[in-house]
Chain A
Amino acid sequence: MSQATLEVRRISGHAGPVPGAGVKREYEVCKLIDTTTCIGCKACEVACLEWNGYTFSETTFNNSYQTMPETAWNYWNLIKFNEHQREDGSLMLLMRKDQCMHCEEPGCLEACPADGAIVQYANGIVDFQQDHCIGCGYCVTGCPFNIPKFSPTAKKVFKCTLCADRVSQGLEPACIKACPTGCLHFGTKTEMKDLAETRAKQLREHSGFKDAGVYDPPGVGGTHVIYVLHDTTKPDAYGGLPADPHIPWVVKLWKGPAKWIGNLAMLGGVIGVTLHYLRFGAKRVPEDRKDGKGGRQ
């Protein structure tokens, strides 16, 4: 946002039109992960821990190179490994860096009931504000990517921030900084999308991956973390990347029409009993009435 204030309006002592006037900078950031050049070194995992101040957690060995089954509240960045057998019988070791996708339409934010606990910045970063988080876990239900994780000790939910603190200072996220192969890129959404499409085209035309493409799922309005995949028809092979992620329809119904139907029903109930009282009044025992007359009011 801060760049917006530094757009050129006027300059001194200049003949003719102001150079650069009206030029807008694109604020929307994006992380590009090229799974075809990832070597699974896990430098991004370590960089993420270091920058965010977490110590290395206990790992889980499951006959794989993977550090643990899924991301954790204090482990936001995880390389998922999968031995994938292709149709021609050849094997591929697929590696995908899993972390928050920073959805344009975030299911976590949609589901959250706490005022200000989840914020989406104009640059597209979706960030959790733990001081406002009440620890209900609704975001866990709202996310289509299994990303927000509850900390039993803090009783708050945590996830990747896309290094919002670094990005706000003009730095790239820690994982990008650490990547040795250049499979991670960071820039504006437009630039990253272009770069991803170029790489996908190269894979299709020169490397024989006819289904290579870019993963930027429209079901959540696009994401601010996009992938280049060798095969976009099988995202699930990349450690369970959903083929067509959406905010769960129950969550949409719950936070949309159900809210208003429910509120109207509750209001209707209160109005209903009030009207009943105004029309029919109280039920009294006839003998209890001072005038001795029984029956109707």
Chain B
Amino acid sequence: MGEIAWPKEDIPDDGVLYMRLHRAWTSSGEPIPGAFRNIVDGMSTDWDRYSTPEETRQRARAPSDNAVIALVVGQVRTVPGQTVEHAPLPDNRAHTNVMGEKSAQVRLMLMRLYRMALPLQ
């Protein structure tokens, strides 16, 4: 049997993206600018239609080393050069990339948009 191929969907502006935040990318429990970076295809997040913050945290190799922050899709789309693209994986229907160069400007703007969904334990 093959793996399930989840359909790629359009994400509305009122969607929320959850992003794991390894403690190494924090200062006093809050993200530092370097936390907002591309990994391979983009900045890896989970769409809240298919994931809770806790499920996002549990996908980390070491969940207890990770906080989870939340970003509103419509606000992310206001950041220069950033697009939000649903990119489901066989084992994670929620997976979504925030595509676009993460310049200093983009990273500072994303720093101003997040809210903490699950703090470090």
Verify that A and B bind, or say they do not: no
Interface residues of chain B, those whose CB is within 8 Å of chain A, are: none
